[in-house]
Amino acid sequence: MRTRIRRAKAAQTAAMVLTGLAAAFIVAAALYLLAIIVMRGLPGVSWEFLTQPPRGQMKEGGIFPVIVGTLALTGLTAAVSLPVGIAAGIYLSEYATRGRVTRIVRLAISNMAGVPSIVYGLFGLALFVNLMGFGKSILAGGLTLACLTLPVIITATEEALRQIPSDLRQASLALGATRWRTIYRVVLPAAAPGIVTGSILGLSRAVGETAPILFTAVAYYKRQLPTSLLSDVMALPYHIYIMATQVTGRPDEIVWGTALVLVAGVTLVSVAAAGWRSLQRRKVRW
Amino acid sequence: MARSSTTRRRIGRPVSSRAADGAVRKLITANGLVAILILAAIFLFLAFNSQRALQEVGILTMLTGREWYPTIGVPRFGFLPLMAGSMVVTLTALVMSVPVSIAAAVFVSEFATRRVKEISKSIIEFMAAVPSVVYGFVGLAVVVPWVKEVFQLSSGLSALSAAVVLAFMIAPTIVSIAEDALHAVPNELRQGSLALGNTRWQTTYKVVLPSASSGVLAGVMLGMGRAIGETMAVLMLTGNAAILPSSVFDSVRTITGTIAAEMGNVVQGGLHQSVLFNLGLVLFTITFIINLVADLVLEKQRKRWRR
Amino acid sequence: MALASEKKGAMVIGIHENSSNGGEFELRDVSVTYGSELAVAGVSMDIERCAVTALIGPSGCGKSTLLRCLNRMNDEVSNATVGGSIKLDGTDIYGKDMDPVELRTRVGQVFQKPNPFPMTIYDNVAYGPRTQGLRQRGALDDLVERSLKRAALWTEVKKDLKKHAFELSGGQQQRLCIARALATQPEVLLMDEPASSLDPISTQQIEDTIAELKSSVTIVIVTHNMQQAARISDWTAFMLRESMEEPAALVEVGETRSMFTNPGDKRTEAYITGRFG
């Protein structure tokens, strides 16, 4: 009996050590990734790097138009995906009844989240670039990225709305408010922190995507800034790709610097959003 | 205490707001269906643009063709080398990633203190947020030279390099979904097992893991879907040779890499473009099935612990 | 046709004439079905204007379900259907001409748990009037003050109307919810165990408020607490679901005093003397 227990305890220790090592390995890999991007990227980043266009066949100069291009794409993505995504989230949480249609909608949303980004690129090429005739442009790229971001925003909105107790909805309805007024004046304001944070997380993923904009938005090199929604643009992730694989003889720190700008932008915004949400949560408790 | 007649007047909600309520309901319902609409549109547009390839080459010729020479005089459009490339990279990545990720999920869910849990989860979240092109670039700088040296290859650009990087990329997906599934197992089950004199580890592998098995499996499948669909890192690391691979040290060309590399250089409306759309349709179908099965499994898992 | 127009006329007159002395309900053979399950059946009773009517009975006996029929909050449960007829001041509230949203401005409700909106005290009370389109600052200020006074909360909060409602205590929050319901100037106020989550002192304050209000509003209150029903109500209705196979039904309704001293039904007697429930 003793030995059985001792053996079980030994097995437990071994299991804890092994699984702990696995977790430590993954965490270490993540930290290594962070460290190498920061260490190698920092020497390349300067005020000039952020505010100057590339020069000398992109082997010198900065990435200003690249940053502007990514911001423009992200702006359009947000402008399209936020209203549609939030409305769809409201539908699922506030209007949809339990039934077959809702179940299919839910399956479709989670399936959409798993569609490869290159397939969104093909879809955008076929629909926005060719059929609608937008050409390679901010408009076509932004719409494509919006499709990709939608499931994240829908899910975030629905979850944030579900956190709001149904007591509040009932109270508003009992005061003679319509369904929509109840949502608009009571439920949405209460759920705003969750919706905003989830949406920012979704958008920050879109910022880093390359494959969807490959055929729908990006230019290899473009010195001047975009003038309309129908301009093509440079973009951070695509710039990293071409600099890493197609520009020979470029100094490494330009690519690392661009990678750092992209990763830092995405991470800092996400961290700020998450921090803001937990601050709001502390203020209001259900 | 009587109400004065001035404020008593029933203002009556503006009629417009009642009409607006109905209009808003319709508008919002329309948006709710957008996911179905987009999924259907993706399928239709891919299918529509594949028409020429289906007519002139034929689906069977493509799916069973062993050669991919899209730009020679008489082009060959065989998907087999590309599908084999995707398979080799994906399976190798899964073999490396799944055991470590599930073990990490078990540690985080069952053994870690709250603090360790929170910290490791947010670090793993960071890993998920890093764009794939950055993984590709770091892979070029770190993994490719390492693979070349350790395995004495003439070039480090190989299925193995891509698989190593992919293994790290899909780890956050598998860890977080598996951890959710483990976490969802009710504590009563754990306590029941502990009360019978089992250790925590015995409880974990006898009770918790079997109870959460379908959720863990779904995590693995979603990780697999992500690996098959991953484009940029694979494009940058595999070397892109469109030949049937004989080992993981060979250079391979995946479905995604082919579309990404070639779509930019094709004639608009040409046969090659149509074949690439068809390749996209094949990819969409594969991931659609994987995701659907994973979602159905997850849904079942969720129902299990409800009540 | 003639009947319909008569109804409409009655409704308009009803609003004006009854505006200062509540409304009265007439329930005939009311039943509630959830999906295919009959939950409440055969309830017929009158609810007197400007009086307090208490619905008592063991838990699960359909009191709250019946209460929610009176302002059609059951409409919000998608598979609930209501049978029979319920008339408010002579108008069928389930009739074609009745808009449930408008009905709820005439029949207010206070819930079991205090549920203030996550906004300021002022905005909570002003929510209903604003919904009805009242925008003038002065009139709104008056109405908020008057409603808070009627709910006996004014003296405690008049200095910080801009404070977040969640900073109030539980009892204060519940009185805020009463003020919020009163601000739409309803003829009837439905209260679903309004004091069940409160301490004894707060409960006392709510009961005092109810006593004040009944001169101007009809009150229907669901309560678990028989002493409370005895203390505050003029009329008492006792409901019971005798088994899971049968729907809940009304056992008897009568003046509170006689009901508690001399119940007409054995089951009522058993319940109020504490033999079950």
Instruction: Assess whether pLDDT exceeds 90 at residue C169.
Output: yes
- Asked if A215 and B263 come within 8 Å (Cβ–Cβ), the reply is yes
- Asked if A175 and C104 come within 8 Å (Cβ–Cβ), the reply is yes
- Asked if C73 and A174 come within 8 Å (Cβ–Cβ), the reply is yes
Domain that holds residue B97: 59-306
Task: Assess whether B187 and B86 both reside in one domain.
Answer: yes
Counted domains in chain B = 2
pLDDT in tens, B44-100: 999 999 999 999 999 999 999 999 999 888 899 999 999 999 999 999 999 999 999
ipTM: 0.91
Task: Assess whether B136 and B268 both reside in one domain.
Answer: yes
Which among B32, B127, B129 has CB closest to A96?
B32
pLDDT in tens, A124-170: 999 999 999 999 999 999 999 999 999 999 999 999 999 999 999 99
Task: Assess whether B39 and B80 both reside in one domain.
Answer: no
Q: Name every chain B residue with its beta carbon within 8 A of the beta carbon of A179.
A: 21, 25
Cα distances from C29 to residues B155, C32, C43, C69, C246, in angstroms, run 86, 10, 5, 13, 16
In whole angstroms, give the CA distance from residue A214 to residue A119.
11
Task: Examine residue B54 and state whether it is found in any structural domain, yes or no.
Answer: no
Q: Which residue of A has its CA nearest to B279?
A: A119
Q: How many DSSP H helices and E strands does chain A contain?
A: 12, 2
State the greatest distance between any 2 C-alpha atoms of chain B, in Å, as a whole number.
97
Instruction: Assess whether pLDDT exceeds 50 at residue C6.
Output: no
- Asked if A171 and C177 come within 8 Å (Cβ–Cβ), the reply is yes
- Asked if C131 and A177 come within 8 Å (Cβ–Cβ), the reply is yes
What's the start-to-end Cα distance of chain B, in Å? 49
Query: Which band of pLDDT confidence, cut at 50, 70 and 90, is reported for residue A211?
Result: very high
Task: Assess whether B35 and B68 both reside in one domain.
Answer: no
Q: Name every chain B residue with its beta carbon within 8 A of the beta carbon of C22.
A: none
Contacting subunits of C (3+ beta carbon pairs below 8 A): A, B
**What CATH number was assigned to the domain covering residues C3-115+187-272?**
3.40.50.300
Distant-in-sequence, close-in-space partners of A230: CB < 8 Å, separation ≥ 6: A134, A135, A137, A138, A139
Task: Assess whether B153 and B261 both reside in one domain.
Answer: yes
The answer to whether A131 touches A226, Cβ cutoff 8 Å, is: no
In whole angstroms, give the CA distance from residue A200 to residue A67.
18
- Asked if B14 and C133 come within 8 Å (Cβ–Cβ), the reply is yes
**CB neighbours (10 Å) of residue C59?**
10
- Asked if A114 and B36 come within 8 Å (Cβ–Cβ), the reply is no
Backbone conformation region of residue B197, classed left if phi is above 0, alpha if psi is from -120 to 50, else beta: left
Task: Assess whether B36 and B7 both reside in one domain.
Answer: yes
Task: Assess whether B143 and B34 both reside in one domain.
Answer: no
Kindly report the CATH number assigned to the domain that includes residue B157.
Answer: 1.10.3720.10
Task: Assess whether B44 and B64 both reside in one domain.
Answer: no
Task: Assess whether B202 and B244 both reside in one domain.
Answer: yes
Which among B2, B14, B18 has CB closest to C216?
B2
Give the minimum alpha-carbon distance from B260 to chain A in angstroms, rounded to a whole number: 7
Instruction: Assess whether pLDDT exceeds 80 at residue B265.
Output: yes
The answer to whether A200 touches A274, Cβ cutoff 8 Å, is: no
In whole angstroms, give the CA distance from residue B119 to residue B112.
10
The SS3 assignment for A135 reads coil
Residue B158, chain A, CB below 8 Å: the answer is: no
pLDDT in tens, A68-119: 999 999 999 999 999 999 999 999 999 888 788 888 999 999 999 999 999 9
Q: Name every chain A residue with its beta carbon within 8 A of the beta carbon of B39.
A: 108, 111-112, 115
Q: In terms of DSSP bridges, do strands C80-88 and C91-92 run parallel, antiparallel, or are they unpaired?
A: antiparallel
**Could you give the domains of chain A?**
58-283 (1.10.3720.10)
pLDDT in tens, A35-78: 999 999 999 999 999 999 888 888 888 899 999 999 999 999 99
Please state the pTM of the whole predicted model.
0.86
Mutate to test the interface with A, among C75, C117, C220 (most CBs of A within 10 A): C117
Task: Assess whether B22 and B95 both reside in one domain.
Answer: no
Task: Assess whether B168 and B241 both reside in one domain.
Answer: yes
Mutate to test the interface with C, among A175, A181, A182 (most CBs of C within 10 A): A175
Query: Which band of pLDDT confidence, cut at 50, 70 and 90, is reported for residue B1?
Result: very low
State residue C1's pLDDT score. Answer: 36
The SS3 assignment for C39 reads strand
Residue B81, chain A, CB below 8 Å: the answer is: no
**Which of B164, B172, B153, B287 lies closest to B236 in space, CA to CA?**
B164
Residue B122, chain C, CB below 8 Å: the answer is: no
Give the minimum alpha-carbon distance from A224 to chain B in angstroms, rounded to a whole number: 22
Task: Assess whether B139 and B272 both reside in one domain.
Answer: yes
